[in-house]
Structures are given as C-alpha cells and as structure tokens.
C-alpha cells in the first residue's frame, strides 16, 4: 500500500498538495460575501491572455458583489513558483471547479476568471451551473492584437498589482491556435473600448 501511495503522490503536481487542503487554502482567502441571491449566478469569462478578463471582472465587482474565482490567483497561491505544466493546470482547474460548486450552493454570484478556451473544459462549467440551478452568463473578452501586445509588454515593465498572469506574447500566440468556438450563447466584449455600456449589458443578462 505504501508503494502505491508513493506512486499516486508522484503523479500529482509538485510539491505534493492534497486537493481538499488546496481548496480550503483558497477558500480561506476569498472575500467573505454574505449577500446571497434568490438563485445563484455564474459568470464565466473566456478569452486569450491580455484581452482584459481580470480587468472586466474588477469593473463588474464595482457594480454588484461577486466572488471571483481566478485561476491565476489559485495557481500562484498553491504553487510557488508555478510551472504551468499540464498536470499543474489540471489541478488548478479542479480546485476552481470545486470552489465554484461550493459557492453556487451558497447562492452567491460567482465570476470564473480563466482563459476557458476549450469547449470541453467549458462544458464542465456549464454542468456546474445546471447542477446548482444557477443563472449562467458567458462573456468572451477580445481586443485588437496591437492592444494585446502592448498590454502584455507592460507586464514586464509596469506591472499592475492586480495582474497575476505571467503570459506574454509568445504564450498568447500559442494559445490562440487552440482556442475553440463557444458552443453556447455568449456576450462578446471588446475591452479596448469604453466598457460601461457592455457592463450594463452583462448586468441585464444576469437579471433575466
């Protein structure tokens, strides 16, 4: 049994982290929002690095209370330094999904801030919303490539304290090849433009 346990631990992200311990660690760092709703709400962001997902999430939180589950925050809290290996990424998303499930059960408004580029991965989030009878709104963030390139370059010269991503232009270009169309109705937001009208559109969608 000991040999089997050692092999299982070796297959997990390094350093070894227990899943439940990881979830508890992140949950303890989330803001304590007591304002529940009649029904839970899940706003899933989807977009390439540098397209303004986290910025949009912060702007939405200025309007109404949300709990933000941000994959970059989860990764950097659990792994120091992160390796961005497929195994590590799978673990990070597992933690995010468990947290989202628990928060929706509490009838909270949740924003899932991650690239969410694969429809297979998005399908799991769709099912979480359905399982918890949550209102699901999907928002795809976009921006002109020259704007994205400038934003990503600034990460290494004048980093925003709120920006936890390490992605650069090379990562953007690589991930762009694997982006899949979103298979459900969604709102597309160009974050290079004035966001107020788009934010109001999202808020209206959340209330329907």
Distance CA 16, CA 117 (A): 27
* β-pair type (187-190, 41-46): unpaired
* Bond preceding residue 81 cis, omega within 30 of 0: yes
Please check whether residue 109 is in contact with residue 81, taking contact to mean a CB–CB distance below 8 angstroms: no
Strands (E) located in 114-193: 135-142, 187-190
Q: What's the CA angle centered on 25, arms 19 and 26, to 5 degrees?
A: 95
Domain annotation for the chain: domains and CATH numbers? 13-207 (3.40.50.300)
Residues in the chain: 208
User: How high is the pLDDT of residue 160?
Assistant: 57
The pTM of this model reads 0.87
The per-residue pLDDT string of the chain (208 residues; one tens digit each, 9 = 90 and over) reads 444 444 444 444 444 579 999 999 999 999 877 778 888 999 999 999 999 999 999 999 999 999 999 999 999 999 988 888 999 999 999 999 999 999 999 999 999 999 999 999 999 999 999 999 999 999 999 999 999 999 998 876 655 555 556 677 888 889 999 999 999 999 999 999 999 999 999 999 998 7
Please check whether residue 93 is in contact with residue 73, taking contact to mean a CB–CB distance below 8 angstroms: no
User: How high is the pLDDT of residue 38?
Assistant: 84
Helix (H, G, I), strand (E, B) or coil at 27: helix
Distance CA 69, CA 6 (A): 31
Distance CA 185, CA 160 (A): 32
Distance CA 27, CA 174 (A): 31
User: How high is the pLDDT of residue 11?
Assistant: 44
């Amino acid at each position: 049994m000991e040999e089997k346990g050692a092999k299982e631990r070796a297959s997990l992200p390094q350093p070894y982290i227990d899943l439940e311990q990881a979830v508890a660690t992140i949950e303890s760092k989330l803001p304590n929002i007591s304002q529940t709703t009649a029904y839970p709400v899940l706003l899933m962001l989807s977009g390439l690095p540098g397209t303004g997902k986290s910025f949009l999430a912060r702007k939405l939180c200025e309007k109404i209370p949300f709990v933000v589950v941000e994959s970059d925050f989860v990764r950097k809290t659990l792994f120091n330094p992160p390796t961005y290996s497929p195994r590590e990424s799978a673990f990070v998303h597992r933690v995010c999904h468990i947290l989202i499930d628990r928060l929706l059960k509490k009838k909270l408004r949740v924003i899932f801030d991650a690239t969410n580029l694969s429809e297979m991965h998005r399908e799991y989030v769709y099912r979480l919303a359905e399982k918890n009878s949550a209102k699901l709104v999907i928002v795809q963030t976009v921006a002109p490539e020259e704007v994205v390139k400038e934003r990503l370059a600034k990460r290494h010269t004048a980093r925003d304290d709120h920006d936890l991503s390490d992605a650069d232009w090379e990562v953007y270009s690589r991930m762009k090849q694997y982006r899949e169309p979103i298979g459900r109705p969604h709102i597309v937001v160009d974050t290079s433009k004035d966001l107020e009208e788009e934010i109001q559109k999202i808020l209206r969608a959340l209330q329907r």
